[in-house]
Each structure stands twice: as C-alpha cells, then as structure tokens.
Structure 1
Amino acid sequence: MSDTKVYHGSCHCGNVKYQVRLTLPPLITTDPTAKTVSIYKCNCTTCQKMGFFHCRPINPEDDFILTSPDPSELGDYRVYDKKHGWYFCKNCGVRTFGLGGAWEETELDVDEWAGREKSKDGTEKVWKTKSADCMVTVDGKQTTRNLHYLSVNAVTLENVDLREWHEKEWMFYVDCLRTPEQGPRFGKPYAGGMY
C-alpha cells in the first residue's frame, strides 16, 4: 500500500528549506514514463562529485515548494548544456536539489498544502517550479523543448532512513558514462558509480 507524505528538507546550516510530497513505496520499475517517485544514483561525473542521491517526485510542479531563501540567493552550478541548475546553500555549501525549469513565486497556506489543517497565520510566500522552454539539439538541429526536471538530494531530507530505501530495493542505478547509455538497473551501481 502506498502512502503520500510531505518530507522536509534542508541544507546543513538550515538556510535552505524545502518540502516535497513523496508517494512511497515507489513502483519498482525502470520505465521512465511510470507515474512514480524515482529514487536513483547516477554515475555521471557531476552527480558523483556532488554526492547527489536523486529523489524525484511524481509531479514537480505540485509536489515541491521552496520555503527559504528566495531562489536568487542560492548558489547555482550549471554544467554541460546549462539547462539544469544544481542549487546549493551559499553559506554551508550543501547541494539540496537540481532544477531544469523555472521558478514561480506564489502565496499559499503551507499547512494546507501539506495536507494538514489550514494555518491560523494564513498564506506565506514560497517558490514552486514550473516548466520552461529551452533550446536543445536533436539530430544536429536546434529545436525548442519544454523542460521540467526536479530532483531533490535525498541526503538533505529530514527524518528519512536512506538505508531502508536501499534495503527495500526502492532505488536503482543509471549509467550516463557509456554511449549508448545502459538502462537503469537495481542492485549495484554501474562502473564509476557509488552505493
């Protein structure tokens, strides 16, 4: 039986705070179109060097909010095609999430969003993510694609036993170093990857 719950996440010093809705357990599948939380480790050099443990909600637009600080106050490291921002706290340096898309400031009742009773204090300013058009090269031609990618760094989630996720085999490994890429697999990382 699956259970949808809101998890809090933060950097080490607490400057960066976010909330994410996750439905666990995830479907155990390597189908990228499946409507499920994706929990995985990638062996690309960026993810390896950052120690990034991907946890992607089902619907990034509805299932993630940044409560502090304003996104313009975050560090933003971009590699390769520069479409994804790997955001980090400028104070403690912890990488909290990656985003390919855009930020949207909004007012909402965070308690109500999290499935609790409405807050006595009402709404507060938060930032959500939304899709954005970007230029990509497909078969040597430039084209516009709509992009919305969000992955929180699972090690920045609070009150989560990541060992349990591993032992229950909820996570998989992807290979981004080989061409062509190998498909996702469970059990052990690809060459250059980490457990």
Structure 2
Amino acid sequence: MSQLADNQPRRLPYTGSCHCGNIRYVVFLTLPPASLVGVTKPPPSRGVQRIYRCNCTVCHKSGFLHVRPASAFDDFFLLSPLDPLDTLGDYLCNKKTLHNLFCKTCAVRCFTIHGEGEVVEASLPRAIALPGTSSSEDAVSVNAWRLKPVELTEGIPHQGSYLSVNGQTIDPGQEGFDVREWAESKSIGYLDCFHSPDQRKPPRCDRPQIGGSY
C-alpha cells in the first residue's frame, strides 16, 4: 500500500537497507511530500524536508536520490552497523568533506554524511525496529547510530553536519511510500550542481538539469 489512507501529510518512520541487508536504518519522513511547482529557489537547507536529484558527477553516476529529512539528528537512526565510518566503504568527495558510505558486500550506497556520530538509545516502533515482527503500536528501545546534534553555524562546511539518505534504498511497499508518486506530483527538485556557482541554472521540478537524470 503506497498512498496514505487520508492522503494528509504525516511524519512516519520508514525502514531502509542495502541489497544484502548489512546496512539497516530508519528515517522519519513527512509524506506525501509537497509539490514543488512554482518553486524557483532551493528551500532552506535546515529545518525542512528536501527531496531532489542533482547533476554532479558523483550523484549522477551513482543514481543517488537525495532525501534529506527535516532534522539530520532526530530523523535518521542507523540500526546496522553501529560503526559506519569503520565498517562501511567510504568514498570522500566535495573537498574531502562528505563521506559517501557504501556496503562492502553489495556496494549499495545508502547515505552520505558529514560530522561526528554517536550511538544512542532510540525509541522506535517495535515493527520498525525489529523487522519480521507483527505490527504493533508499542515502542522498543534499540541502540542506533546517529549524527551528533551540533550548533549549526554559517561558514563551517555543511554548517557542521550533513545527512542525505538515498531514497532508492528505502524499502518498497511501505505505507505512503512510492517514488513514482513523488515524480508524478512534481515533488522531486532537480538541482544544477555540475556548473560553477555563478553559472548554475535555477532549480526546477519539471525535468532534470543538463547532464542529470530522472
């Protein structure tokens, strides 16, 4: 079931994983997302949910669909592994500031981060935290890795923290989740990150930027 029963935006937890299951995470998203028709500039980089594709060579070649939750600290919990920078493959780019982490077994890239992380005790819905269990409203406490909350300061690369989840790795079949609907409702922004800042085209939602893909 993809559509929410009342089609009203709701913040819900969604599971995601690499192909082999070595990487497992939970991301909180507000779905269905808002249409970007008429939007002529990128939304604030903090405090709002963002869904977009960019045409930089890294994201284009890896087919990365950026899903950036409203809070990098409160909306993403990595269930496995709990030491991502030590266990996962790491491709550094963007002046060596962004960690493009990928599974060493199946090579799927699930998320990109900047900043320090920590293992915390997170309260998550039982059916989400423990895959294979029956649906339940009860929450369960689990150990999970997340980015450490920091004071966001302009002038610091990525304001001291950055998180972008690859929407292609969110597990299909969950309530309210259907990337097709995002594209059909024009809720995916297309950003121009290939050209230099002074030559970049304004964001749009009708079609990818030059060199990009749907």
What is the TM-score when the length of structure 2 is the normalising length?
Answer: 0.78
Match of 2:107 in 1: 93
Of the candidates 50, 74, 78, which is equivalent to residue 66 of structure 1? 78
Correspondence for 1:130: 148
Matches within 5 A, 1:27-176: 27=34, 28=36, 29=39, 30-33=41-44, 35-70=47-82, 71=84, 72-111=86-125, 116-119=137-140, 123-130=141-148, 144=156, 146-159=159-172, 160-176=177-193
Equivalent residue of 1:90, what SS?
coil
**Which contiguous aligned blocks of 4+ residues in structure 1 show a shift greater than 6 angstroms?**
112-115
State the superposition RMSD in angstroms. Answer: 2.5
Which is richer in strand?
Answer: 1
Superposition deviation, residue 130 in structure 1: 2.5
Any stretches of 5+ residues in structure 1 without a counterpart?
Answer: 137-142
Equivalent residue for 1:25? 32
- The more displaced of 7-16 and 124-133 is 124-133
1:136-172 superposed Cα distances (whole Å, 9 cap, x missing partner): 9xxxxxx645322111101100123211111111101
* Letter of the structure 2 residue corresponding to residue 24 of structure 1: L
Over 3 Å counting, the alpha-carbon distance change for 1:151 and 1:116 in structure 2 is: farther
Distance in structure 2 (CA, Å) of the matches to 1:22 and 1:178: 30
Secondary structure class of the residue paired with 1:14: coil
Length, aligned pairs only? 185
> Percent of aligned pairs with the same residue?
40
Indicate the larger mover: 34-43 or 76-85.
Answer: 34-43
Q: 1:172 to 1:75 in 2, by over 3 A?
A: same
Mapped to 2, the partners of 1:152 and 1:144 lie a distance apart of 21
CA contact (8 A) 2:33 2:182 kept: no
Match of 1:191 in 2: 210
The question of whether the paired residues in 1 share the 8 Å contact of 2:24 and 2:79 is answered with yes
Q: Which amino acid aligns with 1:75?
A: G
Give 1:93 deviation, angstroms: 0.2
**Quick one: distance in 1 between partners of 2:125 and 2:10?**
18
Please state how far the C-alpha of 1:74 moved relative to its aligned partner: 1.1
TM-score (norm. length: structure 1): 0.85
